[in-house]
Amino acid sequence: MEKRKGYPRLKWVVYVLIVIAGLFSFAFVDDLFLISKNLDTFASIYKEINLSYVDEVNTSKLMKTGIDAMLAELDPYTQYVPESEMEDFKLKFVSSEYDGIGVKIGARNGKVFISEIFENFPAQQAGMQVGDEILEINHVGLKEKSPDQASLMLKGPQNTPLDLLISRMGHSKPIEVHLVRVDIKQSSVPYYGLLAEHIGYIKLDRFQVNAAQDVTNGLLDLRKHKLNGLVLDLRDNGGGMVAEAIKLVNVFVNRGIKVAVQKGRHQDQITVYQTTAEPVDMHLPLVVLMNSNSASASEIVAGALQDLDRAVIIGQRSFGKGLVQQTINMPYNSLLKITIAKYYTPSGRCIQALDYAHREASGDATKVADSLMREYKTKAGRSVYDGNGIYPDIFIKPMDYHAITKVLINKDYIFDYATKFRSEVGKIGEAKNFRLSDADYEKFVLYLSTKDYSYDTPTELALSELIDEAMKEGTASQIKAELEALRVKVYHSKKSDLSQFQDEVRAVLENEIVSRYYFERGRFEQSFQYDKEVQEALKVVTNKATMTTILGGVGTYKIIGKPDGNFSDNN
């Protein structure tokens, strides 16, 4: 048990609560009395638990649990970050710069292995491969070590040596690898290149420090190819720094244009964000890709470019996170990330989809009803709506893998076979042209013949539920023949599924294999041929008439995402 004399943590708990109170309360006497009363109650309970509880108490863990429970009453984005989690927080939200060797690791069956290698960093330069199992780090065995512990051991001051002992498929003996840690700087743009002649593509996966500059650098490089159009990919980009989102919009629109408005709890807490610099290219035909995981800063960008009729948006409805967080330093090198405002697009719409202030009886946040969604106008007069994310100008039905593909991914059979393929095949052709031959695919099917990958299709699961209900109602015996006939009809053969859905399985397997040779760059280049959103973007951005029709709001493009009862389902 921690020492009883003094309770230093109470000081910063009080500080946390006062900060929250200061942000969300008027300084009325009644408010101050309630704050003082609640703090006194909280401190007294914490103190008595520490002094009197029958078993030994980890008071630090108890306090963290109490803080987390308190913040959970607000929204999922307001959170306390203790000193022990600060490094991970910075890597996720601020900058992905660290000192290490350039790998991602995972764990399976108590073993730690390389799950991804970053190109042009020590691990790749030393010949390490995805799928390598790490046995020792600086002569310390990894048995019983978690991926987080192993990751911490791999990191360290730059220019310091790192010795690894690894096991590799196809090698009978462990391999020693000697490396030196370096400064790992990962761009917010993991890939940019040409989709076709004179058509550029830039993938932005997070809004960290210098994100807008990373996009600008990629765009300037691509412009050497005399660009006629650009596809900006914000799919699965969960957001980040609002300032970077504003700068990114400024890359494509003129100086002095309103991009977003931030509104806090009180009337005086309003911030208008405008572009402040000259654009890089305000006339280049532009398509933005987004999906249901595009959130926050991604939605600021997509919403602004849509409201200003500057870009065609293709994909699925965005996540709907219209809340702004601010970080506040707390005592003992900790931090509070707190929601301080909502943001609004240039047309005036707030795209927040969930209301955390008014919850259901279950405690879940309420969704904005279709009837409450208001209409706004883009610069060209197109109708757009608030309260449910950013709806695309062109909706593309999202890819939904069949059950067999999902199970092969989840059981790591595709990952393992790609590792096996790499150990047996020294070289392959260009990533964008890589295809598995029929003979290669049959080898994969043969490989799976010794594996357990049983699964039920959605139809089989529904039939099982029907049989269970019939048993409960006592009617199963009466419809036994019908149920058995249904069972025979919906029964699937794993091998026939591998044939029926082989295009889908092939695409995933080919992409995994390519990553073993060409890393993340190869994944992108190989995936474009199967990517429905990219193919649609290519079709649109190369057709000036189509771009003009959509951005001008001609015909069906006059109204974007009108609530009709199916809005929340992306239909």
Q: How remote is the C-alpha of 231 from its chain's centroid? A: 19
Place of tokens 């190369």: 542
Q: In degrees, to the nearest 5, what angle opens at C-alpha 366 toward C-alphas 89 and 394?
A: 80
State both tokens at 439.
């003979």
Pick the catalytic residue: 321, 334, 347, 515?
Answer: 321
Pick the catalytic residue: 187, 188, 294, 296?
Answer: 296
State both tokens at 153.
């051991």
164: alpha, beta or left? (left if phi > 0; alpha if psi -120 to 50): beta
Annotation says 281 is catalytic: no
Strands 383-385 and 375-377: antiparallel
Strand order in the sheet with 199-203: 191-196, 199-203, 229-233, 286-290, 312-315, 394-395
C-alpha span between 31 and 303 (Å, rounded) = 38
Which of 108, 118, 133, 134 shows the shortest CA–CA distance to 412? 108
Q: How remote is the C-alpha of 466 from its chain's centroid? A: 36
Pick the catalytic residue: 307, 386, 497, 531?
Answer: 307
Place of tokens 């900006």: 232
State both tokens at 45.
């309970």
C-alpha span between 528 and 512 (Å, rounded) = 14
What residues contact 144, with CB distance under 8 A and at least 6 apart? 110
C-alpha span between 326 and 339 (Å, rounded) = 6
DSSP annotation string for 363-431: SPEEEPPGGGPPEEE-TT--EEE-SS-PPPSEE-PPP---HHHHHHHHTTHHHHHHHHHHHH------G
Strands 140-141 and 133-137: antiparallel
Annotation says 364 is catalytic: no
Annotation says 307 is catalytic: yes
State both tokens at 143.
């048995």
> Which residues carry out catalysis?
296, 307, 321
